[in-house]
Amino acid sequence: MFRRPRLFALLMALLLFSLASLAAYVHFRPVLLPPEAEPRQALSQPVDRILIEKSARRLTVIRDGKPLRSYPVALGFAPEGDKARQGDGKTPEGLFTINRRNPQSRYHLSLGIDYPRPEDIARARESGIDPGGDIFIHGQPNGLGNLVTIANDWTAGCIALSNRDIEELWRITPLGTPVEIRP
């Protein structure tokens, strides 16, 4: 007599769990884009400056005050606002410098920026928090190859490009290149 209501309740709970799981997957799954196919003339001379506009999801390389090329980017998973602490998913804002290059990173090539700066460290210390670090401009996760580019904001605070774009940026960006990250 009690078996049918229990079985019904169990089936309903399983159905609700399945629907919630499907909704979470649809909402949070990464959007994958096919690789770009159009040919373009490769840049070969070093750039003077990099400008990243978070709201436009764009990175622009500049030489002699003139924009040379812009690339679409993905940012931290919570990109609004300036980075304040480790794990907040924000991409920092301000003036930085390329201070390291890592051809062996977990992502296809990476150019490190000098975050946190002394003022970021002081602000975090006053608040009793960790400011985070290891902010890079990098390609896609190793293992994806050049087959796809993750399109939505997915990093922990870094700036991600397609593998094709980071390869070009890698060639033309020397250590010491200024990087401005705007909201």
Q: How do residues 69-117 score in pLDDT, each as one tens digit?
A: 999 999 999 989 999 889 999 999 999 999 999 999 999 999 999 999 9
Q: Are 124 and 108 in contact (CB under 8 A)?
A: no
100/137 Cα distance (integer angstroms): 11
Give the predicted TM-score (pTM) of the model: 0.78
Task: Quote the pLDDT of residue 139.
Answer: 95
Beta bridge partners of 94: 181
